[in-house]
Structures are given as C-alpha cells and as structure tokens.
Structure 1
Amino acid sequence: MKYKNPVISGFHPDPSICRVGEDFYLVNSTFEYFPGIAVFHSKDLVNWTQIGHCITRDKQMKLSKGQPNCTGLFAPTIRYADGIFYVICTNVSDDNTYGGNFIVWTENPRGEWSQPIYIDTPGIDPSLFFDEDGKVYYTGSHQGIYLCQLDPKTGELFSEKQYIWEGTGGCCPEGPHIYKKDGWYYLLISEGGTEYCHMITMARSKSITGPYEAYDKNPVLTNRSLDTPIKAVGHADIVEDGAGNWWAVCLGIRPLGYPFRHNLGRETMLLPVIWEEGQWPKFGKDGTLEAEVETDCLECVQIEKKGLYVDEFSSQELDNSWNFIYNPVSELWEVNGDGLVLYGNETSLSEADSIAWIGRRQEHYDCIARTQVTFDRKQDGEEAGITIYMNNRHHYEAALTRIDDQGYIIFRRQIGSLWKIERQIPYEKDQVVFELHCSKESYTFWYGVSKEELKFLGKGETDYLTTEVGGRFTGNYIGLYATGNGAKCKEGAKFKWFEYQV
C-alpha cells in the first residue's frame, strides 16, 4: 500500500508513540494551548483519531502567558507499563508552582489523567524507559543528554543525573529516547535544532549508563539539504507493530515555497524502519523521509480527510479539535446546546492574555472555514468574528464591531507592530456569516447574510502568517473570538455553527 505524509496534519509536533496490543497511542506538544497534550489512537499507524488530552482541568496545570508560541507544554513522551499509561512532559513556565518536568498517568487514555507528579530535574524533553529488571529510567536534555533512575508513581529520584552523550556535534541535542534490543541499549536523540538542519542521531551501549558509542553513519534520519517537500525532519520515536515491523514517527514541515516558510506548523510523519538483529536501525529511504511511502508491511487504506466538518455546538462540551489560548476562563464562554457564546472581556487579539477565543488548527493549505455570528454591539470597541491566528502579533480577522455609535463589518490585519483596519463597511444587522478561504498564497475573507449570499471583504498574504516571519513553535489556528478592546462586552456573541471544508 501507499500512504502520504503527514499522517496527522497541522500543528502536531514532537510525536511520541507506544503500542498496547493492537492499539497505538500517540501524543503531541501543545505549548500555550489548552486542553494540553493531544492524545491520538490508531489501529494501523496511518489513520489517527484524537481521543482526548492529558491536561484537561484547570487545577492540573497553569500555562504561562506573555510569550506566545514558546512556552507551555513541550515534547511529551508516552509509555505503557503494567496496565498504566504514563506521559512525561515539560511545562515551560515562569510559574514555580506549575513549571518544570512532570508525569501524568491513567488506566484509560480516553478518560481523565492524573494530577501532575513533578520531578526535580532540569531541562526539557524528558522520556521514560522501563527496563526488563523492573527499574525505570528518566532521560532528559540539559546541556547534553542525561540519565537517572526514578519511581514514575511518585517522581522520586533514586540516583544522581549522569550525562551519557553529547551527540555528534550538532546544536541542541535533545528529544532522547532509549530502546533495548538484542542486548543493546540504543539512544536516539535529535540534533540541529527544530529547523532546517534538524536530524536524528543514535548511539548504543551494552550498559544503560554507558559508555555510548555513536553510530559511524549518523545521522540515521534527516532531510536537510535535500530537494524534498518535507523539511526539518526530526524529534522521532520508534515502535514495533506486533508483527515484527518497526516504525518511526517524527515531525516535519511542508514549506509553502522558496525561500522556505511554513504556516501549518510542525506535523506528524510516519516512516518504516528496518532493524535487523544486532544492527543499527535503517530509517525510511536511505535515511530520509518521503512524502509518499510505499510499503508491504501495512494492509490498510489511508482515509483522506476531505469533505465538510460541521460543529453546531449542540453538546455541553467542546469537540476535541477546539483549543483555548492559555487556561480557559469560565466566565468568557459557554456551550448551551444551541450554539457557542463568547463573552468578550477587556483583552484584545493583540494581547497575550486570557481572551474570549476558541480555535482549531488549520490542517490543510487549501480549506474553507465559515461561521454564523449574532452579536448585539452595545458600545464602541466591541467586536466578534473569525480570525486566522498565528499569535497575538500576527493575525487577520473579519468582525462585527461598533465605531462612533455605528455598526460596521471590518477586515483587519496585524503583522508585528503594524496594525490596520483595511476595510470598514457600515452594517447595522446583528447577524452575519463570515467565510475564510485559505490557500498557499492568501487568506481571503467574505461576509453576507447567509452562506449563499456572500460578498468579498478582504485579503492578506499567507507569507506574513508563517513561522519564519512571526512565529516560533506552533502553527496557524482558525479562531472564533469576542472582545471589548479595553472594556467588557455588554452582551455575548453567539456562534450558531462552524464549518471546516476541504
């Protein structure tokens, strides 16, 4: 069969994977977005369904504000042992209470996860290794790769940290995982930074504490300096599928063009690994990741995610695809079975603070998003609408608003410190349908009284909402929002439905 990468599209970086029987589970970084640490399930490694998050309760974790796209939940690892799923992760935060490395666990990955168990270790990208003798080891990244023994149920450390490898000389050695096979301990890490020189390197030892011998043909996986549609390949994890076949998941990006720039974020990729007894693993096609992979080791059919996704907000809970920025504030939103209501506070889209905003990832270059919003604007400055959002300094939006006691529809763009309302149309009705067309070249907004009667509103270049221009570690979101721009809104903005079409 053939399958195409990515297997999970849109902002889903730093994948980690484990297998339990015939089921595969995968987690991703989520940074400042809440709920945190997305959890996916698959039966065949190619078709994935999100089944929840690890961080779903406000009391579990506080996410740091003020530094978009570079704080929050970094690089989780998922492992399974003795009936329990463990996820270990880092909350990069300026809050000493909630920041640092931690473990959450559950017996049911579709349900609630435990309160965090904090671990007194430095750095980022923690991983767990359960050895055959019952001992459990922690590996982390902090000025090199280090190892220590711990109790995953309490976070207690049983040994001092011991540095076991510095990599092959590339910058930012990180993302360590240990695997044991044929009497060898194999150490896999990422080097080169999560950019265009990203790569996977490996070392091995007969003892878990080392010394580790680097593979003389490192890197084992990289797409650097190659004319391939997928770049920045790295941050991998390996799993055996139960039939003797090995697979790796990793992150990669799909640039829009040249010079390279990307807007969807780092995505989850899958590639086969040949790992013969006593040998080093061989990744993909001669150590590279292909956009389309042909394999005899899978018998499934990749389900192409095309069509129309509709959310009428008819449940009392939001679908797993929706996120908040930072921890949600309960007073700012509700779903009551008849739509989503956002109660705008003082925070504007240009501020890195709690805001009446929910968003879902842009998962395809070419897609259409639309929504119907009803908003009775009582005072100047109130607005509600739809936004294509990289962060608080890089976004475009269409909104209902009020200026000088008159109702308007506006199209606005912010690019760094540059901010402009590019079109302002008198509009006294309280209800409108907004439509957003996404492409590799542009984001185009439309408006009208219904889906069938839309008029052009405004258009902005995709290039200015790319990581290379204004982002860091995340990707673009399609957001629904309300704000009073300095004052609380008098009324809520009701979003009756939302559609995402590919």
Structure 2
Amino acid sequence: MILYTSKTEAAAKKAFQAALAGDFDAVKKLIDHSFNTEDCDPEGNSLLHYAVRGANPQIVRYLVDACGMSPIWANTHMVTPYDEAEKLPGEDAAACEIREYFRSVCGFGPEECYRNPVCRGMHADPSIVRVGEDYYMVNSSFVYFPCIPISHSRDLVHWEVIGHAVTDREWAKEHLGGLEGGRGFWAPDISYYNGRFYICATLRNNDDAPYIQTQMVTSAERPEGPYDTPVIHNVLGIDPSIFTDDDGKRYMLLNRGARIMEISPDGKEILSEPSLIWYGHSGHAPEGPHLLKKDGYYYCFLAEGGTGKGHMITVARSKNLMGPYEDCPYNPIMTQRDEIASIQCCGHGKPVQTPDGRWFIVYLCSRFLEGQWGMLGRETCLDEITWTPDGWPMINKGKGPSYMAALPFKPEDTKTAGRTAGEKGWMSPRTIDPERISLNKDGWICIRGDGLDLCSRDCRSLLVRCQPDFDFTVSFQMEWLKDSDGEFRSDAGMVLYYDENTYVKFGVTKDQVFAAEYVDDKYVRQESLPEKFSGQCLFTVKTSGLKREFYYNNKLLWTWDRVTSICSEGLVKGKRFTGAMYGVYVNGSNLLRWRQHGEI
C-alpha cells in the first residue's frame, strides 16, 4: 500500500466516499478508470476499510475477489478491515454477511486468531526452542538486569517470563557496571542438549574495551534456571547461536554472514577457528545466523539488510555442513515490502517445529508512529513456515509479516499465562542493589536513593518495565517511609525512560511537583507547580502515541504533545536499540515505596 499523492488524492477521496456510501457502481467505475487500489489515506486505511464501514457486501466481495485486497491488512492503528466488520451492528444482515465472508476468506474467526506482534514492547532478537510440548524463548536485555529474560509458552502466542539467564548481581555489576545504554547482552540463543538448556549471547562492551564483542555461554537443567556462572569467549562477532549435528558435535555460529566454529559439548571451550560458510543473499550486514537440519539439508537462516526498514530473513542450504550453500531462489523469505505498513524492520528469526510437524518462526519487528518514531523498540512476531515442493521454507507464504493469523493451536488445547506479571517484569540498568531496591510480595516496590541522578551510569535507584503499547495509562501510589530526622531530601516519582541519555521524570520535591525531560546532558523541558509533599501521592501518566498527560492526585497538570526523545530515533548518540520504559525512581537519600495501580 502507498499513501495517496497530490496527483491521486482526488480519485482516492472519491473512491473512499463512494465505498463509505455503499455505491458499488461508483466504486467499480473509479477502479476501472482512475483509482489505484494500493492507495490509502494518511492513517493507512485502504479502500476495503471504507467499504466495510459502508456495509455493502457487494463492494467488499469485489475488492477482495476481483482486486485482491486483504481483509487482514492493518492501518497505522493496527486496525484491519476484519476488525471494522466486527464493529458493525451485530444483527444487521449486511454486517453478518460481511463477517461470514471474511471468516470464509481468512479461514478463522476473530476468536480463532492471534495478532502480531505477539510480544510487545522491548522484545528484540528472539530465539526459540521446543522441548516436548513446551516452547521457550529468549530476547535481548542489553544493559538491564536481571539479564536475558526466558519466556515460556504452550501455544506460541501467549508468553510468560519464567526466569533469566544471569541473576548474579555481582557478576552483572562486574560485566555491565560501566556500559553505555544499548550495549550489554545482544541477540541471545536458547537450545537444548542432553537434558540441559544452553543460552549464549554477545556481550557488547564499550568501544574502549580490550574486546568490544565477547560471547557468553551458560546452561541449566531447568529452563527457568538457576544457570551456571557464564563462560566468556573472547571471540569477535555478534548474534551467536548453537547448533548440534546428528553426530553429537556442537558448533557456535557468529556473524558476519554465518561463521561456524566447533565447541565442546558443554560450550565452555572453543575447539576450532571460525570458518565462513555463507555470506548471505544481499551481502549487506548479514548477521543472526541459525542452522536447521531437515531432510538431509543444512538450512542456514540469516538476518540481512541492516536493522532498519529493509531488514529481512534469508536462507540457503547445503548437503554438507561446511558448504557450499545454495542461495534460496525465493529470498528474502521474510521482509516488509510495504513502506507505510504498521509492522516494519522484519528480520532476525529462528524456526521451530511443533509436535505435529508444522513449522513456525519467531522474528523481530518494529512499529512506528508517524512512519518514523520507533518508541517501543523491537518486538517479537510469529508466523507460519510452509515448505515449497522443491524444499525451501516460505514464511507466511511470502506475503511479509501477518497482522492477524490463525492460532497455531485451539485455545482449549493449551494453557499459558498472559503477559509478564509480578516481579519478573521489573528490571534496572546494569544491576540491582538489594540494599537499595526490594520488591515485596504484596506488590510494593521499595527504593532508597543513592544520591545519583538517572543520567549517571552508576545510578542504582530506579526500576522500570517495558512500555507495552503506544496507548496506555499507568498509575503509581507513592509513600515516603520517613527517615529518623523527618526531612525529605530527594526528588522522586515516576520515570519514562529510554536510557541514561533520554528520560522524563514526573516527581516531587519537598515543596513542588514537576515534570522534566532530559536529553543529551541537559534538561530541555521542565514544568513545576508549588506543592508541599505530604508524604504520599498518586502519579498517573496517560500515553497516546507521542503525547503524554501528567496527572497528580488525579488532577491533570500538563500535556506534552510530542515526546520524541523516548524513541529510538529521539537522539543520535550511542546504541539506540532498546525501547521506551516506565517505572519509578529516587534521586536523593530517602526511602520510598510504590504500588502500581493499573496498566491499560
């Protein structure tokens, strides 16, 4: 789809109006003579969106059957024509006909489908493994602690964090303590071998480190851990994965392209020098290699094209592990070719087979506000893999990422908890000091300030979670646990956080309530009102895209229309690979506690 231009605007608006009015003859005439069916309005609505709103089944069928328009193509708000049909009056005959038609075309009803991304907010670089009927996934955690979340699912759609690969605070402090935001653990991989789960990842250090890229390996008997003390291999490269061949030999793959080296069975030793087996389809930033053996072939999957728009998944195969590898004639097997689509930057995927022999793949994506602001960071999508008669994998039949797709399993066949809940969703940059931060079973978070502001890499007095979507509301009740001298010497409250270079504080001092936006070494926007802090209060932030509304004790104080700094593109500095967070903080020396009051 493309946004209509000044040359096509008149025909597009006429077609949209005709579809909304249910005028089939006018719609058909405009399509025959002047309207391009790929044109959409500034919010990404296609002609089919308008036709469904107009509730004329004849137009809807014509656009799908004759013009090839999709009922599950989403606008910029992730709303599909299928969604529009569900909004129509329930008993209306035309509405019922459209809904039944969409069920027939798509092969599923609204209660029988899932929506991408399946893991929203910061869930970059997914890797997956199945053991029995259980699926386990890991994602990048960058400088956040605990490190490398491990999620569990039984249906591939609903995921719950069950543990982390690195939970030793002192180890994390040693290896993450001075790292710049956006570095840390990149692109982990999870695999299963001889009764143990193995996780490897790149530890991306600062540019002045002796080794700017090292590879970490750890293992555990249980997927949730506890995991062994990690082993660090001083081998340059990123995006490691582990492959076990039929003869039991184990290998680690790294970029650029797919470089392979033999490792010991426990992953603690490197047994050979890296050898390049495939440099990719395009030759542009080939990374994220994964190997799969099927039907006598080794299939090598790569991420290519860079991490922005144009990211892709490619594949090659060989009868021999070390090659040569044959480039897939259908490459790229996953990319987003539609420049204005809601889901972009699709790549870095790993396949998994279900117990009944079907194949799926998890891969990363990004969603943008206004086509340019990636607030949520990179997220995780799921799509089915089918195999061509000549033995090549195709993701979502080559159509790019799906917005809606049939559930892999019937809902009654699986039971998996929903989104991350409880204390496992909370994290802090670099490490957590147990003398300063505690999470109580009754839902209270306690933090004692360390006297450092959030711009310091040494600050250990904030706790954050991933922002779950573009539109949400969250509140925190805050209470001061008064010190012996009874003096409030801090600023404390909520934080909207990207990294130490960009964040927004919404807090109180002893005599004011304030909001302050920090960008690149200075506070660039500040608001304040006189308010004597009584010892307890309620903070609420309502997020609507780039707009943030700040409520104090249920009273709206300020509205900021464009908070772009908490987006990956909000500052050209360092590694902007994470995503927007929200949480609580203390800058000072007082002890406070918070309880979250909802997330919408």
TM-score, normalised with respect to structure 2: 0.75
Residue in 1 that maps onto 2:244: 130
Distance 1:271 1:421 in 2: 44
Aligned pairs for 1:407-418 within 5 A: 407-418=511-522
Note closer, same or farther for the CA distance 1:428–1:380 as it changes in structure 2 (3 Å cut).
Answer: closer
Distance 2:365 2:232 in 1: 30
Instruction: Give 1:300's match in structure 2, choosing from 397, 403, 411.
Output: 411
Give, as a single letter, the amino acid of the residue that structure 2 aligns with 1:360: R
Whether the 8 Å contact between 1:441 and 1:463 is mirrored in structure 2 is yes
Residue in 2 that maps onto 1:264: 376
Q: Deviations over 1:411-456 (max 9, x none)?
A: 11123345132223222312111111111131111111xxxx4343
Distance 2:198 2:178 in 1: 30
Q: Deviations over 1:378-407 (max 9, x none)?
A: 6786211001111122222211114xxxx2
Residue in 1 that maps onto 2:292: 179
Give, as a single letter, the amino acid of the residue that structure 2 aligns with 1:105: S
Distance 1:197 1:97 in 2: 30
Aligned pairs for 1:72-471 within 5 A: 72-94=184-206, 100-141=214-255, 143-258=256-371, 260-276=372-388, 279-294=391-406, 297-300=408-411, 319-335=423-439, 339-375=444-480, 382-402=490-510, 407-419=511-523, 420-448=525-553, 453-470=554-571
Measure how far apart 1:120 and its partner are: 4.0
Distance 2:533 2:379 in 1: 42
Task: Give secondary structure in 2 for the equivalent of 1:293.
Answer: strand
Distance 1:278 1:150 in 2: 33
Whether the 8 Å contact between 1:327 and 1:354 is mirrored in structure 2 is no
Instruction: Give 1:16's match in structure 2, choosing from 118, 127, 131.
Output: 127
Measure how far apart 1:160 and its partner are: 2.0
Residue in 1 that maps onto 2:599: 501
Task: Give secondary structure in 1 for the equivalent of 2:425.
Answer: coil
Task: Give secondary structure in 1 for the equivalent of 2:570.
Answer: helix
Task: Give secondary structure in 1 for the equivalent of 2:364.
Answer: strand
Measure how far apart 1:202 and its partner are: 1.0
Identity rate, percent: 31
Note closer, same or farther for the CA distance 1:438–1:63 as it changes in structure 2 (3 Å cut).
Answer: farther
Measure how far apart 1:200 and its partner are: 0.7
Structure 1: runs of 5+ lacking an equivalent: 312-318
Q: Which moved more, 1:43-52 or 1:456-465?
A: 456-465
Give, as a single letter, the amino acid of the residue that structure 2 aligns with 1:500: G
Distance 1:480 1:262 in 2: 23
Whether the 8 Å contact between 1:182 and 1:278 is mirrored in structure 2 is no
The number of residue pairs the alignment matches comes to 477
Note closer, same or farther for the CA distance 1:410–1:145 as it changes in structure 2 (3 Å cut).
Answer: same
Measure how far apart 1:225 and its partner are: 4.2
Distance 2:246 2:263 in 1: 15
Distance 1:261 1:411 in 2: 22
Distance 2:400 2:446 in 1: 47
Residue in 1 that maps onto 2:153: 42
Which has more strand, going by share of residues?
1
Measure how far apart 1:300 and its partner are: 2.6
Distance 2:409 2:169 in 1: 40
Which has more helix, going by share of residues?
2
Measure how far apart 1:310 and its partner are: 8.9
Distance 1:401 1:96 in 2: 42
Larger Rg: 2
Name the structure, 1 or 2, with higher relative contact order (CA <8 Å, separation 6+).
Answer: 1
Give, as a single letter, the amino acid of the residue that structure 1 aligns with 2:144: Y
Structure 2: runs of 5+ lacking an equivalent: 1-111
Task: Give secondary structure in 2 for the equivalent of 1:320.
Answer: helix
Note closer, same or farther for the CA distance 1:384–1:137 as it changes in structure 2 (3 Å cut).
Answer: same
Measure how far apart 1:265 and its partner are: 1.1
Give, as a single letter, the amino acid of the residue that structure 2 aligns with 1:388: L
Distance 2:143 2:538 in 1: 29
Q: Which moved more, 1:131-140 or 1:156-165?
A: 156-165
